[in-house]
Amino acid sequence: MSEKFYEIGKGRKTASVPGESCADGGGGFRGGKILCVTNRKLCREDFLVRVEAAARVLAGGSGGIILREKDLPEPAYRELAGRVMEICERYGTRCILHNFAGTAAELGAQAVHLPLPVLRGMRGSVSVENREKFISADNAMDAVSAENRGKFALAGNAMDAASAKNREKFALMGSTVDVHCVLSQFRILGASCHSVEDALEAQSLGCTYITAGHIFATDCKRGAPPRGLSFLREVCESVSIPVYAIGGINGENYPSVLEAGAAGACIMSGLMCCGDAEEYMRSFV
């Protein structure tokens, strides 16, 4: 199995993992790939039933499922992740865990997606100066001010991941666990980016792909103006790793994100809220 998520081909980045179609080779999703981002609170049916429907459509490597669920504390996330990983394995669909790198490593996941502040903190020095400069949800220290917690906390996560259990697990205060070793266990590492600067930083921190957005208007970012296709194009041109567009992507505008240079797109609310998950996903084919 290849150690790289993607290799760079001419034009759009192409897949190198066995069983996946190359982006320039006319894959199932119009030559791109789909990453399904979960939000169980939006589901109209049993969450795991919806996950299985997505995994079934994605079987064979046409993308993957990012188990986001950012409101869950780590123990509950771990339990859910184990069940979702079993479903994905059944269909040969990639499962990408989110936020909790330690839990992902313990579960033997090959892929993890981290908010950029979290990744930045884990990649940084363990010095006190850098701990205070690069606060992450996984290594937040007691000395961190409320102001910094508010600045770097994952939206709505309320620093759940900054529990004593996580601080002990990553033990960045002179500890026995090396976070660099934790990250080295993943052959696929993604991060969420909202600017060209974010994208360049994520690439320098070792990401094998990034998400960029939000591209189109979406209820998930109500009131916030979309960054648009020109932004997406600029991000794609600035890095040599695959970029996945996120925010308001549907079957009609999906071709335009591919034309802008994206390797594919992320879908969340449309997939979680629709009546028939498989029918919805096939609108991208």
Which residue from 193, 202, 200, 209 is spatially nearest to 241, judged by alpha carbons?
Answer: 209
Please give the residue that has the higher pLDDT: either 5 or 113. Answer: 113
Please give the residue that has the higher pLDDT: either 176 or 38. Answer: 38
* Superfamily of domain 6-282, CATH level 4: Aldolase class I (3.20.20.70)
Please determine, for residue 191, whether its predicted confidence score (pLDDT) is greater than 90: yes
Q: How confident is the model at residue 199 (pLDDT cuts 50, 70, 90)?
A: very high
Q: How confident is the model at residue 53 (pLDDT cuts 50, 70, 90)?
A: very high
Task: Return the minimum-mean-pLDDT range out of 63-77, 139-153, 263-277.
Answer: 139-153
At a CB cut-off of 8 Å and minimum separation 6, what does 127 contact? none
For a pLDDT cut of 70, what percent of the chain falls above it? 70
On the question of a cis peptide bond just before residue 113, with omega within 30 degrees of 0, the verdict is no
Vertex 104 angle, CA 37 and 164, to 5°: 110
Please determine, for residue 170, whether its predicted confidence score (pLDDT) is greater than 50: no
Which residue from 14, 28, 41 is spatially nearest to 278, judged by alpha carbons?
Answer: 28
Contact (Cβ atoms closer than 8 angstroms) between residue 215 and residue 227:
yes
C-alpha 56/C-alpha 131 separation (Å) is 42
Q: How confident is the model at residue 178 (pLDDT cuts 50, 70, 90)?
A: low
Please give the residue that has the higher pLDDT: either 166 or 278. Answer: 278
pLDDT at 221: 67
pLDDT at 9: 27
Please give the residue that has the higher pLDDT: either 134 or 30. Answer: 30
Q: Taking all residues of the chain, what is their mean pLDDT, rounded to a whole number?
A: 78
Contact (Cβ atoms closer than 8 angstroms) between residue 272 and residue 38:
yes
pLDDT tens per residue across span 116-168: 999 999 886 333 333 333 333 333 323 333 443 343 333 334 334 434 444 44
Contact (Cβ atoms closer than 8 angstroms) between residue 98 and residue 70:
yes
